[in-house]
């Protein structure tokens, strides 16, 4: 119950902020209450991902792939390799070609 109250207070403050944008910050005390949000669902991996591609979904939604410009096979390979090298994407080296094939079919272009 208490939580709801704080949440409302927050919403009120943020509405005020949006309505009177050009004004200096009003002198009311800011309420650092509880803020809880519910996000809309995440976009799924595009096309028909092979099983091993499920690892790509650990860290981000499928729109990370779908919003990229069409990339060449070489470019997709370096994206996949970067995911493993920089971020620790759990895919074994022999599965990279399977992933790259799917990426090129989904959002690829010729050299």
Partner 1 sequence: MNRDKDKEAVDESRRGFLRAGAVFGSLALLRGGAGNASATTVRLPMANGERPLARYPQKRALLVLTSRPVQLETPMAVFNQGVITPNDAFFVRWHLANVPTRIDGHRFTIRIHGRVKQPLEFTPAQLANDFEPVELTAVCQCSGNSRGLFEPRVAGGQWANGAMGNAHWKGVRLREVLDKAGLRADAVQVRFNGAEAPPLPQTPDFMKSLDMEIARSEDVLIAYAMNGAPLPLLNGYPLRLVVPGWYATYWVKMLDEIEVLSHEDQNFWTAKAYRIPANACGCLKPDEENVPLVPINRMNVRSFITNIADGAQVPAGRELKVRGIAFDGGFGIKRVLFSSDGGRHWIQTRLGKDHGQYSFREWQTHFQPHKGRSYSLLALAINTIGESQRFTPRWNPSGYLRNVVETIKISAV
Contacts with ligand HEC by CB under 6 A lie at: 55-56, 58-60, 64-65, 68, 79-80, 82-83, 87-89, 91, 99, 103
User: Is the C-alpha dihedral spanning 69, 74, 77, 81 positive or negative?
Assistant: negative
Closest CA to 5 of 37, 34, 29, 39: 34
Q: How far is the CB of 8 from ligand HEC (least distance, A)?
A: 33
99 contact, one of partner 1, ligand HEC, none, CB 5-8 Å limit per kind: ligand HEC
Nearer to partner 1, 9 or 98 (CB): 9
In the block, which residue shows the tokens 């959002």? 107
């Amino acid at each position: 119950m208490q939580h709801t109250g704080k949440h409302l207070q927050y919403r009120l403050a943020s509405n005020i902020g949006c309505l009177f944008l050009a004004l200096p910050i009003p002198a009311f005390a800011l309420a650092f209450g509880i803020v809880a949000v519910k996000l809309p669902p995440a976009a799924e991996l595009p096309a028909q991902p092979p099983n091993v591609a499920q690892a790509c979904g650990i860290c981000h939604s499928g729109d990370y792939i779908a919003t990229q410009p069409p990339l060449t096979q070489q470019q997709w390979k370096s994206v996949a390799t970067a995911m493993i090298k920089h971020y620790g994407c759990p895919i074994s080296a022999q599965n990279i070609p399977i992933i790259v094939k799917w990426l090129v079919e989904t959002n690829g272009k010729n050299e």
